[in-house]
């Protein structure tokens, strides 16, 4: 039983596509590669705080998008070579980034409040079920 030319070519085309994808990945790595800013979640009692390292990122390029239990943060850091001076070596990543982060606890939708100080983006979210510390004191006269 013979295969049609279209069916016979599928494995070859799939291998070529795989090779092209690998080539693009190698080229990306050679140019500093895509970058992913480091992120931490911090419990702040009634709020959750996201801390994201974004030094050198243009604040106008930062975008936050909340979708259910996840948050997407994206932005862009310009390439230092774009300043008209040739780079002699390159270690700092540049270009666009996008992080998809899951909330460690449920938060109130659209409650995020962002600040950018010293290259650290801090976003505070109100917890849906906040933890409130209560200290009990004996009532006066019940000593």
For 7, the 3-state DSSP assignment is: helix
- Indicate the average pLDDT of the chain: 83
Q: Tell me the sheet residues that pair with 123.
A: 50, 114
In 3-state terms the chain splits into helix, strand, coil percentages (rounded to 5) of 25, 35, 45
Q: Mean per-residue pLDDT for 31-53?
A: 89
- Please determine, for residue 32, whether its predicted confidence score (pLDDT) is greater than 60: no
**For residue 10, what pLDDT is reported?**
62
Closest C-alpha to 31, from 96, 84, 98, 120: 96
- 10 Å Cβ neighbour count for 81? 13
Pinpoint the alpha helices (H) of 66-135: none
Asked if residue 71 lies in contact with residue 101, where contact means CB atoms within 8 angstroms, the answer is yes
Question: CATH says 34-79+95-132 is which class?
Answer: mainly beta
What is the maximal distance between C-alpha atoms in the chain? 98
Q: Is the CB of residue 107 less than 8 Å from the CB of residue 131?
A: no
Measured between alpha carbons, how far is 41 from 115 in angstroms, rounded to an integer? 15
Q: Return the pLDDT at 93.
A: 85
- Could you state, in order of their start, the residue ranges of all structural domains in the chain? 34-79+95-132
Residue indicated by tokens 């976003």? 123
Whether 118 contacts 46, CB under 8 Å: no
pLDDT digits (tens, 9 = 90+) for 133-143: 778 888 887 65
**pLDDT tens for residues 48-88?**
999 999 999 999 999 999 998 999 999 999 887 766 778 78
Is the sign of the CA dihedral 42, 99, 70, 118 positive or negative? positive
């Amino acid at each position: 039983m013979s295969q049609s030319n279209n069916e016979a070519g599928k494995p070859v085309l799939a291998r070529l596509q795989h090779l092209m994808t690998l080539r693009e990945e190698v080229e990306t790595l050679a140019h500093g590669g895509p970058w992913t800013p480091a992120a931490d979640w911090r419990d702040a009692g009634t709020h959750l705080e996201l801390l994201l390292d974004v030094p050198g990122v243009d604040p106008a390029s930062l975008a936050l998008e909340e979708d259910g239990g996840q948050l997407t943060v994206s932005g862009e850091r310009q390439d230092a070579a774009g300043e008209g001076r040739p780079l002699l070596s390159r270690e700092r990543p540049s270009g666009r980034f996008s992080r998809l982060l899951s909330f460690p606890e449920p938060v109130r939708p659209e409650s995020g409040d962002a600040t950018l100080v010293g290259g650290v983006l801090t976003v505070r979210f109100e917890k849906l079920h906040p933890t409130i510390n209560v200290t009990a004191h004996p009532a006066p006269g019940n000593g």
